[in-house]
Amino acid sequence: MQVILLEDVKTLGKKGQIVNVNDGYARNYILPKKLGMEATNKNINDLKLQKANEEKIAQEILDEARAFAADLATKEVKLQIKAGESGKAFGSISTKEIAKAAADQLGIEIDKKKMVLPDPIKTQGEFEIPVKVHPKVTAKLKVTVTVTGA
């Protein structure tokens, strides 16, 4: 009997796959537990339409992420860090401060966990901070840091 899996089944396959199983296994285990449904022509067509819809939605999300990344590349966030007379900075700037400044200055909510900052910023200058907006899209946010006296 052919069955379309509605959930991942460890020994059979992944969700959405069409697999061959024994009739008894299908009637007594897979169908009653709603792990799968019988692979009729109607159900197969429904599965194809559902997969096409999911691909379309995933593509729309990817396009939105690319547009957001292009928009983010044109933006700039300005931050200040306190420093002593010798020019040595007190503390550092982390992704938390960058996310707060982006929300205040640009009105854009960016999750601090999505920013890839290898080391906290401790000097003045311009920095390109990578922001993972989608698993396939990474944007660059320009951050300008100036030094103020203590």
Question: Which residue from 17, 43, 21, 18 is spatially nearest to 30, judged by alpha carbons?
Answer: 21
Residue recorded with tokens 């007379």: 85
Domains 2-64 and 69-149 agree in fold: no
Class of domain 2-64 (CATH, top level): alpha beta
- The pLDDT value given to residue 150: 57
Q: What pLDDT shows up at residue 92?
A: 87
- Ordered by start, the domain boundaries in the chain are 2-64, 69-149
pLDDT tens sequence for the chain (150 residues):
999 999 998 889 999 899 999 999 999 999 999 999 999 999 999 999 999 999 999 999 999 999 999 999 999 999 988 887 777 788 888 999 999 999 999 999 999 999 998 888 888 889 999 999 999 999 999 999 888 875
**Reported CATH class of domain 69-149:** alpha beta
Question: Whole-prediction pTM value?
Answer: 0.71
By DSSP bridging, strand 36-38 and strand 125-134 are: unpaired
**CA distances for 36 relative to 16, 46, 66, 81, 112, angstroms:** 9, 14, 36, 58, 40
Q: Which two tokens stand for residue 64?
A: 């939105």
Classify residue 45 by burial, with Cβ atoms within 10 Å: 0-12, 13-18, 19+: exposed
